[in-house]
Chain A
Amino acid sequence: MRVLVLFAHPAQRKTSINLAMADAARRMDGVTFVDLYADYPRFSIDIDREQERLLAHDLIVFQFPVFWYATPALLKQWQDLVLEYGFAYGPGSKKLAGKRLLASITTGGSERDYAVGGGNNHPIEQFLLPLRQTAFLCGMEFLPPFVLHSANHIETAASQAHIEAYANLLAALRDDVFDLDSAQQSSMLTRDDVARLTRR
């Protein structure tokens, strides 16, 4: 599959694991990497260019840190502007139909927070309902999100493993060797799932 990574992070500090993941994606062959905040620092999104990018790829990856249970502001604006009526939805004009959407997210809260009875009281995938429904309305397949919890407090070894797993996941999807049918059985993907579902 032709892979497009749309990375959205408004505060790219060197210590951010999200930034390291982005760098890994940026370096990959056969993967188009876009830093939305670098392309549109004033939020003036080029709608035509973004729509052409979408049409030229089969898998769209939203890579972002979760802020207040949602995407960063620019990625929300991107959805508002790029997924136009007559392009992404509307009668006879679902130009994105058949494509796949993957969210690669990091959360500040722990796995325990994102559980019934936890501080956030709901598993993370439930907070992604708007994205899932957006994909559905556009006729896209919404893949289980690739999630890293406790992103600010992770040990070095684990973070390294997550970054590698992210690169492997993108490569496997690019090369069509990722078992999507089995993946759809899970509510979310972790770094362990990547190795398990890759069929090389």
Chain B
Amino acid sequence: MNQQPAAQLATQITLDITWHYSATEAMSRFLAGLRERRIEALRCDGCGRRYLPPRPFCGRCCLRMHNWVPVADMGTIEAWTVVHVPVLDSRTGAPRPLPYGMALIRLDGADTTLNHYLDETDPAELCIGARVRAVWRDEVVGAMDDISHFEVLR
């Protein structure tokens, strides 16, 4: 008996999952600081590196870190781009409007860099070494995006 091959089927699955994360001690202190628009890093006694995000141990020296040091909400662009592909906004779940500027920023008082958004989307206006200042949201909740973006200073 001849049988026709069955049509290939596919299915779509949508997930809506809730996760629970623990911030642990160092990050909890850092996030509490953001609620007061204050940024703090942990400094390693061994190599002197001032780490953002703060974490309990220096990965280079394997030393526990205790010394909190203040960090400014101003810094320098170490790398930049203007992105034209969508990324989801973590607050709304909706795609961010395009294009958007992004940078690796070294905040004054920290030795590591952080990723953040810029208010500038014209490549001709962006360069490594440019100074930037955090623009805080009116309502801060103790999250990294209490800083909505960085303003490029001219």
A binds B: no
Give residues in A with beta carbon < 8 Å to B.
none
Give residues in B with beta carbon < 8 Å to A.
none
